[in-house]
Structure 1
């Protein structure tokens, strides 16, 4: 698959974020991006796991190509989501980028120990936040080759 083919393939992204302002900025950044994508949003860890395991209200949810995961979430935090996904052989290959306000070294180490594929600290400035999302999109959706279900068969 060429980079041109990858850039035209629709991509499903799951954003797990409880801050409405960060959701709005992320949507704005992806809207401005060059890759066709569908951004799905859930607001807590329980809904994230339901979406990823296609259960309850999310029984018909698509398997995301990429997950953007906040750590500080209601009901189940990001570490709990990472831990449950890492333990599942069908879902542990979905790339997960931690996107959080925490700069704490312990959070960074813990996220990588739970097999996060990346860790980004959200900039406070809205313009810098949008720029970071555009760079994340360019790297993960244009340059990197993401696993598909057929790759895993």
Structure 2
């Protein structure tokens, strides 16, 4: 597993979103990117996190932030998830696990006594130059926007 840290260049990628648009990290140079990785569409924690970001999206945009969600679910799953909860930001498809592996968030997990490989919920805060400013491991799904703003805006 790759171990990225603040100060590293964010690995570039190109992926398809829920609507079939091609999106690259490089498209967002000059903006602050909240790149969040989540395990699965339509699960309680992932839904809480996505809805928290949705509800605060206008405020984030006003501050110059862009939100991009990434999971290994397919486009159809992302589309249903996005429509069901009226999400107002792209959900990127990473079925081949290229992005999760590039960011080092794919690995062994344990749930209810079962060990399996999956996406570790992690958020990368990427600055206007494409450099990782901060990494939030195990974000608070219900208060994620507040957590992002506190971490990013209290940096010295």
| Bin for the TM-score computed over the shorter chain | 0.3 to 0.5
TM-score by length of 1: 0.35
Give the structure with the higher percent helix: 1
TM-score by length of 2: 0.35
Q: Which has the higher contact order (CA 8 A, sep 6+)?
A: 2
